[in-house]
């Protein structure tokens, strides 16, 4: 990808998001001049950046949007819903064009038609006739380059002339903050310059000393990209002509190259890079220390001294590796704000299209997660919000009849729980009817009637995640709640997370996503069970204990024992994993005591092996739905082990 284009794509998305945020906030605070100025700056800067490339349709729309915002800033127009709608539509289309450039290296074939339609709509909001001719490229005057190059500067560069520019500043340039003379002074490789008047003879009574009436023509020996960069903020007011051997003959424009859609960039706090460099230095020191120890081991160093020296260096190395891993993971951490900031505009557009009144409340956007988690959350959250808007939230008159406020509320909350990210999406809509789900499940033959009747409501609601519910012929109240919900669970599973759902009929629905913050080092206890090794996260273990066989007694169909005057049920890990039948207790039972809510549960294992700090990886896509498995980890001997989610395993 061209470096300049790559930078444009990064900054373009940021400017689009800033403009969207400002416009949405402006609708709530229409008299806030700071918001108007901020939105204007974003559009103006984006328009200038677009001028560096051959994306004329984008420039056309952004120029019209800038004019509309300029009229609002000058108080010639008021901030109303129509104006904000028009500007948001223009910004949204600009965002889609930026995505198209990132994937294909160029705009879609219909970009020019779409741009002219959007520009006409913005002109109509501005009070201009939509039928008026749209802005065309600056008219070229025959022979202007010949005259320009005839007036070479006193000390022309030995370099050949590569670019000629004709600059017609907007009449309101001074009020926009544009300085034509300052621009010319910053042009690299300037070799020729002509300054004249656009309108030579205005009547004395019509003369406006604050209007810019200049035409500036100049030539440069610098590269085309450098000249374009110096004119980027007035790209719509300049005609830039590359020169080959003859003045006036434009150089052929190179074909646009496709952009690598998988290219990723990450902005990193320089302090984190400094930390990595510091750790690298310390690793070099410990490497040298190990080299010295290797030499000493071949001499008269006795065994005890060698073991002690190895232990010391191993402790230092363990500390450094742990610190290195945490720092590398922190480099990949990004705030969720850029992902979440897309949703206010989405909710506004959907609500307007459906004729519903909805407020979106977002909290916790400052939480930082791994870049892959942030990118992967966009699609499932978008789908969940669409479902909540379309099928969860009622119309205003229906809410009034139900005794609810006419405006519905959708809440998106983000929080951090240990090494996990908790995402909760809640709406105060109609909720999900378990009876309707039972009827649909029966119609789709997902389960038998007796089995469905025996299921609790919570388990029945969970059926909407089954692919069988992704059909078009469902009851109206259920339509959409199940469509694609299996895809949501699959997408979250690929990120190493889990999805759960709660709903109360008539009160609303809450969807919870639990995901890892990053690929963190997890402290686990290695245990043996039926000849295999497994990892159990230490955060799930309250304590380990060895229980004599005579202390274990039967309780109904299970077993239990007393620990510090508290009865604790005992389960076998082999039975939970489905790899062995229950065995009679030995003289001594080794157990892990696990907290489940407010209760304690013990899990019997064959042996405790070790405590390790491991890099936990989520399960592959095909296995992501396995119950009771948190992920996998690689041991030092090369063996892969399963790390258990004991809470899910117990159920």
Q: Which of the following CATH numbers is that of domain 521-650: 3.40.50.9100, 2.40.50.180, 2.40.50.100, 3.20.20.80?
A: 2.40.50.180
Q: What does the block give as tokens for 517?
A: 């913050």
Q: Rounded to an integer, what distance in angstroms lies between the CA atom of residue 338 and that of residue 292?
A: 50
Buried b (16+ CB within 10 A) or exposed e, 4-24: ebeebbeebbebbbbbbbbbb
CA dist 581 and 352 (Å) reads 59
pLDDT of residue 437: 84
**If you average pLDDT over each of 78-87, 203-212, 245-254, which comes out highest?**
78-87
CA atoms within 13 A on the CB side of 459: 8
| 521-565: pLDDT as tens digits | 678 899 998 888 999 988 888 999 998 888 888 888 788 999 888
- Between residues 198 and 410, which one has the greater pLDDT? 410
- CA angle, 405 as apex, 488 and 422 as ends, to 5°? 30
Of 405, 409, 377, nearest to 392 by C-alpha is 409
Query: What separation in angstroms does the CA of 77 have from each of 71, 73, 80?
Result: 6, 8, 9
| Apex 43 CA angle, 38 and 46, nearest 5 | 120
DSSP 8-state code for residue 161: P
The pLDDT of residue 295 is above 80: no
Does the pLDDT of residue 408 top 80, yes or no? Answer: yes
pLDDT of the residue at 651: 67
Tokens of 114: 């779409």
Phi, psi (rounded to 5 degrees) for 274: -60, -40
**Nearest 5°: phi and psi at 61?**
-70, -45
Rounded Cα distance, 632 and 506, in Å: 41
Using DSSP, state whether 8 is helix, strand or coil: helix
Pairing of strands 541-548, 358-363: unpaired
State the pLDDT at residue 526.
92
Integer Cα distance of 136 and 342 in angstroms: 33
571-581 pLDDT, tens digit each: 989 888 888 77
Please write down the long-range contacts of 563-569, taking CB distance under 8 Å and 24 or more positions apart.
563/593, 563/600, 563/602, 566/600, 568/593, 568/600, 568/601, 568/602, 569/601, 569/602
| Structure tokens belonging to residue 207 | 């003369």
* Cβ 56 vs Cβ 236: under 8 Å: no
With contact defined as beta carbons under 8 Å apart, do 231 and 51 qualify? yes
Helices 111-125 + 56-73 axis angle, to 10? 10
User: Tokens for 487?
Assistant: 């895809």
632's enclosing H/E stretch is: strand 629-634
Q: How far is CA 487 from CA 130, 223, 411, 464, 562, in A?
A: 44, 50, 22, 11, 45
Q: How far is residue 444's CA from residue 442's CA, in Å, rounded to a whole number? A: 5
Answer for the pair 394, 430: CB distance below 8 angstroms, yes or no: yes
What separation in angstroms does the CA of 255 have from each of 101, 105, 223, 331, 590?
Answer: 14, 10, 17, 36, 71
Q: What is the pLDDT of residue 161?
A: 78
If one counts every other C-beta atom within 10 angstroms of the C-beta of residue 431, the result is 20
Does residue 464 contact residue 587 with C-beta atoms inside 8 Å? Answer: no
Q: Is the pLDDT score of 396 beyond 60?
A: yes
Q: What is the mean pLDDT of residues 92-106?
A: 86
Q: What local confidence, expressed as pLDDT, does residue 100 receive?
A: 86
Identify the residue whose tokens are 């209007």: 211
Give the range among 70-84, 92-106, 312-326, 599-613 with minimum mean pLDDT. 312-326
Range 18-32 average pLDDT = 87
DSSP 516-572: ESSS-EEEEEEEEETTEEEEEEGGGEEEEEEEEGGG-EEETTEEEEESSS-EEEEEE
The pLDDT, as a whole number, for residue 413 is: 93
Concatenate the DSSP letters of all residues of 350-385 into one string: HHHHHT--EEEEEE-TT-EEEHHHHHHHHHHHHHHH
CATH architecture, domain 144-242: 2-Layer Sandwich (3.30)
613-633 per-position pLDDT tens digit:
787 777 665 566 677 887 888
What is the band of 472 on the pLDDT scale with cuts at 50, 70, 90?
very low
DSSP label at residue 602 = E
pLDDT, one tens digit per residue, over 343-355 is: 888 888 888 888 8
pLDDT band at 426 (very low <50, low <70, confident <90, very high): very high
Q: Residue 276: exposed, middle, or buried by beta-carbon count in 10 A (0-12, 13-18, 19+)?
A: middle
Least confident among 456-470, 506-520, 630-644: 456-470
Cα–Cα distance for residue pair 227/4, rounded to 1 Å: 13
Q: How far apart are the first and last CA of the chain?
A: 50
Question: Nearest to residue 256, comparing CAs of 83, 107, 389?
Answer: 107
Q: What is the pLDDT of residue 423?
A: 93
DSSP 225-274: HHHHHHTGGGGGGEEEEE--SSTTPPPPPPPPPPP-TT-------HHHHH
572 contacts: CB under 8 Å, gap ≥ 6:
580, 582, 583, 603, 604
Phi/psi at 189 (5° precision): 65, 35
Percent of the chain with pLDDT over 90: 9
> Are the C-beta atoms of 390 and 477 separated by less than 8 Å?
no
pLDDT of residue 425: 94
Mean model confidence pLDDT for the chain = 79
Position 173 pLDDT exceeds 90:
no
| Fold topology of 335-516 | Heat Shock Protein 90 (3.30.565)
Q: Helix 81-104 crosses helix 343-354 at what angle (to 10 degrees)? A: 120
- Nearest Cα to 559, choosing from 530, 533, 583? 583
Q: Inter-axis angle of helices 81-104 and 56-73, to 10 degrees?
A: 150
Q: Where are the domains of the chain?
A: 3-125, 144-242, 276-331, 335-516, 521-650
Q: Predicted confidence band at 405 (pLDDT cuts at 50, 70, 90)?
A: very high
Query: What sign results for the dihedral spanned by CA atoms 625, 626, 629, 633?
Result: negative
Q: Which CATH fold topology does 3-125 show?
A: 1.20.120
Give the confidence band of 135 by pLDDT, cuts at 50, 70, 90.
Answer: very low
Could you give the percent of the chain with pLDDT greater than 70?
A: 83
């Amino acid at each position: 990808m061209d470096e300049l284009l790559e930078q444009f794509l990064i900054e373009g998305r940021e400017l689009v998001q800033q403009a969207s945020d400002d416009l949405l906030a402006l609708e709530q605070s229409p008299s806030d001049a700071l918001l108007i100025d901020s939105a204007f700056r974003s559009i103006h800067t984006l328009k200038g950046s677009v001028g560096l490339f051959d994306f004329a349709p984008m420039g056309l729309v952004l120029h019209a949007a800038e004019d509309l915002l300029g009229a609002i800033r000058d108080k010639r127009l008021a901030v109303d819903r129509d104006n904000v709608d028009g500007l948001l539509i223009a910004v949204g289309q600009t965002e889609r064009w930026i995505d198209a450039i990132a994937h294909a290296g160029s705009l879609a074939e219909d970009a020019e038609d779409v741009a002219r339609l959007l520009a006409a709509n913005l002109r109509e909001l501005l009070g201009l006739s939509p039928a008026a001719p749209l802005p065309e490229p600056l008219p070229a005057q025959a022979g202007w380059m010949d005259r320009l190059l005839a007036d070479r500067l006193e000390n022309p560069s030995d370099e050949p002339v590569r670019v000629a520019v004709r600059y017609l500043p907007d009449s309101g340039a001074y009020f926009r903050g544009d300085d034509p003379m300052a621009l010319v002074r910053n042009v690299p490789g300037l070799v020729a310059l002509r300054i004249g008047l656009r309108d030579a003879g205005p009547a004395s009574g019509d003369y406006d000393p604050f209007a810019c009436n200049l035409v500036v023509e100049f030539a440069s020996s610098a590269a085309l990209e450098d000249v374009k960069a110096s004119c980027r903020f007035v790209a719509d007011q300049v005609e830039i002509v590359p020169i080959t051997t003859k003045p006036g003959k434009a150089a052929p424009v190179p074909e646009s190259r496709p952009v690598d859609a998988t290219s990723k960039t990450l902005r990193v706090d320089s302090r984190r890079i400094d930390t990595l460099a510091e750790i690298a230095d310390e690793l070099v020191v410990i490497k040298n220390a190990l080299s010295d120890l290797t030499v000493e081991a071949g001499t008269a160093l006795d065994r005890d001294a060698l073991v002690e020296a190895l232990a010391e260096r191993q402790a230092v190395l363990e500390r450094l590796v742990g610190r290195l891993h945490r720092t590398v993971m922190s480099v990949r951490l990004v705030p969720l704000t850029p992902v979440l900031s897309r949703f206010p505009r989405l909710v506004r557009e959907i609500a307007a299209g459906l004729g519903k009144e909805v407020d979106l409340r977002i909290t916790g956007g400052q939480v930082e997660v791994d870049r892959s988690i942030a990118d992967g959350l966009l699609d499932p959250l978008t789908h969940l919000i669409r479902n909540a808007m379309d099928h969860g939230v009622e119309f205003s008159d229906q809410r009034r009849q139900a005794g609810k406020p006419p405006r519905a509320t959708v809440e998106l909350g983000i929080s951090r729980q240990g090494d996990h990210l908790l995402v909760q999406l809640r709406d105060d809509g109609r909720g999900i009817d378990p009876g309707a789900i039972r009827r649909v499940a029966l119609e789709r033959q997902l389960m038998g009637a007796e089995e469905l009747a025996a299921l609790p409501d919570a388990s029945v609601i969970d059926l909407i995640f089954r692919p069988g519910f992704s059909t078009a012929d469902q009851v109206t109240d259920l339509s959409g709640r199940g469509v694609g919900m299996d895809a949501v669970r699959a997408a979250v599973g690929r990120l190493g997370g889990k999805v759960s759902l709660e709903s109360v009929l008539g009160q609303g629905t809450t969807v919870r996503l639990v995901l890892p913050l990053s690929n963190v080092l997890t402290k686990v206890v290695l245990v043996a069970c039926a000849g295999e090794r497994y990892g159990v996260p230490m955060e799930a273990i309250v304590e380990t204990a060895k229980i004599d066989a005579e202390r274990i007694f039967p309780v109904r169909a299970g077993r239990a024992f007393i620990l510090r005057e508290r009865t604790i049920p005992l389960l076998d890990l082999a039975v939970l994993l489905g790899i062995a039948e229950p065995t009679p207790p030995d003289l001594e039972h080794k157990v892990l005591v696990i907290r489940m809510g407010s209760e304690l549960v013990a899990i019997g294992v064959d042996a405790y092996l070790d405590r390790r700090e491991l890099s936990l990886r989520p399960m592959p896509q095909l296995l992501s739905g396995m119950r009771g498995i948190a992920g996998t980890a690689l041991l030092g001997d090369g063996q892969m082990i399963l790390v258990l989610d004991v809470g899910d395993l117990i159920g």
